[in-house]
């Protein structure tokens, strides 16, 4: 009611002068802002297209000369004649290590976020949140060094235990080498993506309308029931978005993986034995000695990572869109 009055017929008091002043530049500002934001949007699309075109062009150059099948060859040898390389092992390693990292990190991150928002004493919340922020700022090479020097020697116990009790599955068989396998990488990646998932989830859980929680409490819910019925459904799409941010980091992580993994071009049934590899790790370790052709081949593998990342983000958007009924807008 009030707003229509202001625009249609300004109140007779002292407001006309400021109103006029606001009107002119306001429209101009709108136009500039529209132009700017539209321009930025188009600019982003142009950059993406340029990257895709560059990658595709170089990739096609390399794949045309590939003697093996680019998708199924278990080998990466660009220096020999004829060159033979394929991404099967890299795709497998990238996806498996990221998925396991997610399986470990997401539950822990959600638990920490819930603890911080609903259980922790108020004066603990700030410091813990700061520490998590700091963890997110540690560069990945530092995680890599920590992983290689401290995590790897200390994982022998866990690997031995897994081998003793779950070795019969084949998935956790271990032949007592240093623990530099895909599972080690997954654990390290889980630690690396934990802060970002925790922080975003914490923000989301902090946004849960007080009314919902109070309503649930009024109906006699326990604190856990409040979380289950009010907090988690409200935060679900936020947690999914946070997880996708983490997954993005895990998929593209380079130096930490290169430092910790003992890569080879084979797919092993066991997660504990050394071997495998990821796209980013392979690019980092092969790039400096590669000739022009070798670089094109690495770029071709980079293109595949680009596509996988796009697919993952697309899938995440679909999931979030389907869960719209839980979002805050309808609350």
Residue 4 to residue 40: CA distance in whole angstroms? 33
Q: Based on the shown chain and the rule CB under 8 A, indicate whether residue 196 belongs to the binding site for other proteins.
A: no
In terms of C-beta distances under 8 Å and separation of at least 24 residues, what long-range contacts does 234-237 make, across chains too?
234/204, 234/207, 234/208, 234/209, 234/326, 234/328, 234/331, 235/201, 235/204, 235/205, 235/207, 235/208, 236/323, 236/326, 237/320, 237/323, 237/324, 237/326, 237/327
Q: Judged by CB, which is closer to other proteins: 57, or 130?
A: 130
Q: Based on the shown chain and the rule CB under 8 A, indicate whether residue 290 belongs to the binding site for other proteins.
A: yes
Residue 92 to residue 169: CA distance in whole angstroms? 19
3-class state of residue 277 by DSSP: coil
Q: Based on the shown chain and the rule CB under 8 A, indicate whether residue 217 belongs to the binding site for other proteins.
A: no
3-class state of residue 85 by DSSP: strand
Site string for other proteins, 104-133 (x = CB under 8 A): ----------------------x---x--x
Residues near other proteins (CB under 8 A), total: 42
Contacts of other proteins in 222-241 (CB under 8 A): none
Q: Based on the shown chain and the rule CB under 8 A, indicate whether residue 292 belongs to the binding site for other proteins.
A: yes
Which residue in the set 26, 41, 139, 170 belongs to the binding site for other proteins (CB under 8 A)?
A: 139
Q: Judged by CB, which is closer to other proteins: 231, or 272?
A: 272
Q: Judged by CB, which is closer to other proteins: 61, or 290?
A: 290
Binding site for other proteins (CB under 8 A): 75-80, 126, 130, 133-134, 137-139, 141-142, 145, 148, 152-153, 175-178, 180, 258-259, 261-266, 274-275, 285-286, 288-292, 294
């Amino acid at each position: 009611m009030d707003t229509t009055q202001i625009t249609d017929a300004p109140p007779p008091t002292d407001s006309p002068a400021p109103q006029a002043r606001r009107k002119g530049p306001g429209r101009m500002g709108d136009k500039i802002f529209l132009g700017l934001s539209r321009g930025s949007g188009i600019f982003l699309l142009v950059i993406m297209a340029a990257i895709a075109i560059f990658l595709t062009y170089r990739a096609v150059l390399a794949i045309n000369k590939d003697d093996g099948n680019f998708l199924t060859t278990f080998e990466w040898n660009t220096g020999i004649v004829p060159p033979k390389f394929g991404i099967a092992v890299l795709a497998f390693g990238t996806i498996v290590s990221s998925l396991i990292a997610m399986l470990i990190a997401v539950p822990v991150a959600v638990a920490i976020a819930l603890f911080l928002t609903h259980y922790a004493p108020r004066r603990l919340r700030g410091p813990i949140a700061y520490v998590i922020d700091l963890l997110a700022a540690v560069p990945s090479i530092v995680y890599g060094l920590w992983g290689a020097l401290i995590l790897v020697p200390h994982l022998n116990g866990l690997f031995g235990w897994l081998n003793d009790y779950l070795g019969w599955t084949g998935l956790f068989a271990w032949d007592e080498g240093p623990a530099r396998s895909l599972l080690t990488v997954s654990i390290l990646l889980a630690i690396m993506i934990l802060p970002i998932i925790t922080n975003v989830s914490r923000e989301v859980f902090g946004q849960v309308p007080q009314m919902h929680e109070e309503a649930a409490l009024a109906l006699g819910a326990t604190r856990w029931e409040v979380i289950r019925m009010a907090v988690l459904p409200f935060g679900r799409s936020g947690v999914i978005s946070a997880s996708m941010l983490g997954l993005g980091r895990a998929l593209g992580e380079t130096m930490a993986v290169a430092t910790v993994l003992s890569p080879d071009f084979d797919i092993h049934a066991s997660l504990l034995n050394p071997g495998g590899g990821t796209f980013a790790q392979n690019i980092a370790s092969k790039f400096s000695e590669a000739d022009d052709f070798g670089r094109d081949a690495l770029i071709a593998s980079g293109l595949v990572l680009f596509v996988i990342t796009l697919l993952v983000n697309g899938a995440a958007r679909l999931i979030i869109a389907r869960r719209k009924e839980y979002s805050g807008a309808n609350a």
